[in-house]
Chains A and B, each alone.
Chain A
Amino acid sequence: MKKILETKNLCKSFGAIKVADELNFHVAENEALGIIGPNGAGKTSLFNLITGTIKQDKGNIFYQGESIDHLNVPNRCHQGISRSFQIPQPFGGLSVFENTFVAASHGAGLSTAIANKTCIQILEQTGLLSKANQIANTLTLLERKRLELARALCAKPKILLLDEIAGGLTESECQLLIQTIFAIKDTGISIIWIEHIVHALMSVVDRLTVINFGAKIADGPPKEIMNSKDVKEIYIGIEADA
């Protein structure tokens, strides 16, 4: 399968803390990759590196076969890399519709008429259409999480980076979210999903990568990875046979 995103020997440290340590990983086209790892393992930093918010110290990031190291944040968005945040960060003073419209018109570069249509369709898909004219600051947590997803989708990504989007949701809310993410995957968008809610992640992703201290520890089919001794030890934090 063709790789949509690949990192080679990616290194980044903040002082003594390594958030990426010779990190090599990839995502294939239309693949959903799950990333797990303990807190502070460098998961969110990895997203920041991919979107260009922070620059790596060493190594390269390839997108659709080409290096994107020279591209700035907005240009990477134009190329089709879009993310959602763990703590929702909507444009608080703009309406729900306007939040998505900004992504559709400027991120995806759509004309106003097409952007309008796209936003309405995605707001419907994410269950926010009835809230379209509400100011984003007044939304509940679930609605904000959905807005994160809707806005990221309106930028018409080829690869979608989801940062702990299921965190803080109830079980039934989580199930709805999983269905939405399945639907997104069906449209051909590649996904990287960082999540602590393992069962949600397991039900969607094709492959699982485990990172700790910025380095890749394991990579493979989700079930196999979760059952491996190393992962149990490091990720779940219990010492094997102790």
Chain B
Amino acid sequence: MEKLSYVGKSLPRKDALIKAVGAAQYAGDREFAGMLHAAAVRSPRPRIKILSISDTAARRVPGYVTLVTYKDIKGVNKWPVVLQDYPFLPEKESRFAGETIALVVAQTARAAKKAAALVEVKYKELPFLEEPLKALEKDAVKIYGDDNVFSSFVIKKGSVDEAFKKAAFTAEGEFSTNYQVHAYLETQGAIALPESDGGMTVHSTTQCPFYVLDAVAAALSLPYHKVKILQTVTGGGFGGKEDVPALVASHAALCAAKTGRPVKLIYGRKEDFQSMSKRHPGWARVAYAADKNGKLTACRVKYVLDGGAYSTLSPIVLWRGTVHAAGPYKIANVDIKTYAAATNKVPCGAFRGFGQPQICFAQESLIDELAEKVGMDPVQFRLKNLLEPGDRTVTGQKLNSSCGLKEIVQAVRKKSGWDKKIKDRRSKPEDRGDVATGIGFSAVYYGVGLGAKGRYLDRAGAFVNIYKDSSVGVNVGNAEMGQGALTVLAQIAAETLNAPYESVKVEEVDSSKVPDSGPTVASRTTLMSGNAIIEAATPIRERIFKTAFDLLTAMGAGASQKMTACGGLFSMGGKSIDFKKVVAECWFRRLKMSEQGWYAAPRTTFKMEDGQGDAYVIYSYSADAAEVEVDLKTGAVKVIKIWAAYDVGKIVNPRLAVGQAQGGILQGMSWAVFENLTYRNGIMVNPNFTDYVLATTADKPEYDITFIEKPYAEGPYKAKGLGEIPLIGVAPAVANAIKNACGARVRSVPLLPEKIWKALKVG
């Protein structure tokens, strides 16, 4: 393979400079002439029948303009996302505390908030559901369909009951995990600008501009070509800006349509907590069986997600959790049943890991428990059962050669000093005073992209345009939200074109410049948009290379020699010419210097009836070891160090990749030990960073990160996907380390000191 000039190098981030000087324009930073401001009127109670909405008192606020309710919706009052049960604005019933019931528009943001607080909603309280397991009971109040189930999946393989009967060892446990709040530092927001042709342009902080397009067009009943979505610089997403920005943007657009003026709607942190999506709380009962040699023979899972008041993305989040529920192991007999239940709480949706972290915590904790019963070291036990190239997953999918799972497990084992630490802990349980240290392990696989359940969305477009001055503009349909897409995709474009990296600019998404490219989720951007860019750039590359060859030949380089292209320079027979000159010649020759690209993911064969078939096109892999200190008197945990290794295919930008890994690990750690969003009587108790605490600089563990790059033939320069996998295995590794340190097995996340203290007290 040709030597790469840009891919694989830690090139500087394209957007770091404007961000470091404070010049980057996030949604809230944009101003337009005549702009008004909107604020939401929110439901105070978990489930209400709306009797009336009055703005009599609100009208007295100086600067008040108007009230917007469902009556102002010209289109169908159904937000177009999966099951379409969520209205843009409720008509008769509001289903969770914090749901937007109406919007107030005013001259200033402050006036809008003040007036919104004065809008009087008369309502009658209705019986509500808080607990997902209770929601599934027969006599529960019904708030969705006739069973409160948004969605349900199965995976069935072999004969599980028989395998459990024959098993030499079994382990079973009930596990739960709490919400996780995305806590992107930039809250949700959008600005809608009415256009003179009756259309609407929307500036939106979002991961998924095309979801915003779908929603705004639906709410306003406009053809798509009259709606333009411009993604703003986006201050973090993590899944939290997948679906819900479409709702926020639609609200802004309804206000703009009614007033005929630009309208800005920026969420405060509290309302963002109360109404925007979250990681689902999860509950699972998992059981594993193994034979006398410690070989896994069967797995049984019941897994329930708390979907909240509307289904939003629950069906696909649940599906990903279902596919991965048994863990990355060879298991012949599998019985997995999963449910997403409706409750009268905030609707949950996408969050880095997408239904996997909850079930991974359960099954990777239980793998440790089973290893202990078998009498094997937990890493040895995993090595005995982990998937290898050529093996079949629980859905029957045969893995190809891009599977470095065992290698990464060995890498983490070695780097963390696992064997010695485990041996030392067994042989000399030293007098530790009040503090005990321990180490724990986990292994994870992750299907890259949307997979079978999202197959119709798994395509992406790109537009590559080389200007006369040789600068390169690239438009894609996937979004930069902090992860580094603008940089990584520029590297791929520069590599393919042999253009200088500095001359390539990838723009934030403009929905009118590229076709619908699906969401920026599921660690799919490098793979999908990267391949679309390569497809667009390849014919241009051919023209450029042909022209360069001609020019070099004309300069006297012998045509028999091989031309090389590297770092923006073309060389042959001792002669060289740069990209700029070659592009000038291409333009002079009137060659086509722009192209569209399109990439559609290969077909998957997964069948919903039995959960068998190829679920995803390719998998990434991770292994984590966590070292913790437990305060035996208080139960407080400090995570000291995390060793992690990943097989995510070719690394396009190592510095950015390490940054993604460190950020994902800390999010996982913070969820595992700190983050604790609670509800009481259907009302969120702590919608703020005072009492929903995140890890700070002082809590950060040491990181040791290794990449083992197993090339993926279909990937752009052999890359797979990285974004989500670093978070997934952290919580079980920490829980297993706590067990190793002090003997306390805590089966619910967050692993709070109170729980550990109780477990230690019980002994």
Whether A and B are associated in the same complex: the answer reads no
The chain B residues found within 8 Å of chain A, CB to CB, are none
The chain A residues found within 8 Å of chain B, CB to CB, are none
